[in-house]
Amino acid sequence: MKILISDPLHKKGIEIFKKEGFEVEVQTGLTPEELKKAIKGAHGLVIRSATQVDQALLEAADQLKVVGRAGTGLDNVDIPAATAAGVVVMNTPGQNSNAAAELALGHIFSLSRHIARGHRGIMEGKWEKKELRGYEVKGKTLGIVGMGNIGRILAELGAGVKMQVIGYDPYLDAAAIKARGAEPVSFEDLLVRSDYISIHVPKTAETSGLFSAANLAKLKPTAFIINCARGGIVDEAALCEALDAGKLAGAALDVFAVEPLPADSRLLFAGQISCTPHLGANTYEAQENVAVAVAQQMSKYLKTGQADFAVNAPK
């Protein structure tokens, strides 16, 4: 059986596929039309966030049985179309959670102490010591939206630096949120109480635009917002308006509605904002972890029919 890898994958994942006896073809950076040709004869497709698995690609596939996402987010996969086509879709939750949580905490420190702006100023010949007075995180309230694996780890990290951690997750009850290290609160309470809000939910119909102008207006003017989840959960135009009007202390974004971020994006000109180029899972450890996990899961499914971490159930 053949495995097509259409996005970069750590070599250990490739080695596992080969050891399991699969024919492995690595073709990254393909156009949609090129990918439609490459998918012919493939029984498994390995992707990350770049490849778009849409109905057109699924219709072009003549042997496809499984799509494996080396990572968590699946907003680039048409899951209903895959289900209709009889294709299992699976991801690797938890394998890059530590990396994403650590990045979120890094952004919290960077915003609090103006690390990015301070560096930029020095590179421009400035010495803005007086202008860049910051905040300590000790004793501040960290609000986590989404208490899954990443949220749980961030709660532990936040508690470790003596922050007061509160959490909201509509899919977990109060006892589960408390067990994950956060005081359970409503979404409204989290908006009002938090000094820092860190977002860790998937992008869905319910979460798209969740941080709208109306919800951003409920935050303290001294609050910071961090999004290392998915672009589009925060209304970028509304965020820029709030920052420019001084209604928020700052924001850090690792993800954007359009990636790469366009050169004319208003975010590049907003005040008190720090941006990184979707680095959430981009550590050596996380890349190896997700590659090994997706290779093991897909190999097991193709050989035994057992679909670990499948997000659909084709008939």
Q: Which active-site residues does the annotation give? A: 230, 259, 278
Q: Are 249 and 227 in contact (CB under 8 A)?
A: no
Instruction: Record the tokens describing residue 91, joined without a space.
Output: 């991801």
Q: Are 274 and 118 in contact (CB under 8 A)?
A: no
Q: Which ranges in 39-148 belong to alpha helices (H)?
A: 55-60, 79-84, 97-113, 115-123
Return the DSSP state at 42: -
- Distance, CA of 254 to CA of 275 (rounded, Å): 6
Instruction: Decide: residue 283, CB within 10 A, 0-12 exposed, 13-18 middle, 19+ buried.
Output: middle
Q: Are 154 and 105 in contact (CB under 8 A)?
A: yes
Sheet strand arrangement including 250-253: 183-184, 164-168, 141-145, 196-199, 224-227, 250-253, 273-275
**Best CA proximity match to 228, nearest among 196, 267, 198, 187:** 198
Sheet strand arrangement including 66-69: 23-26, 2-5, 44-47, 66-69, 88-90
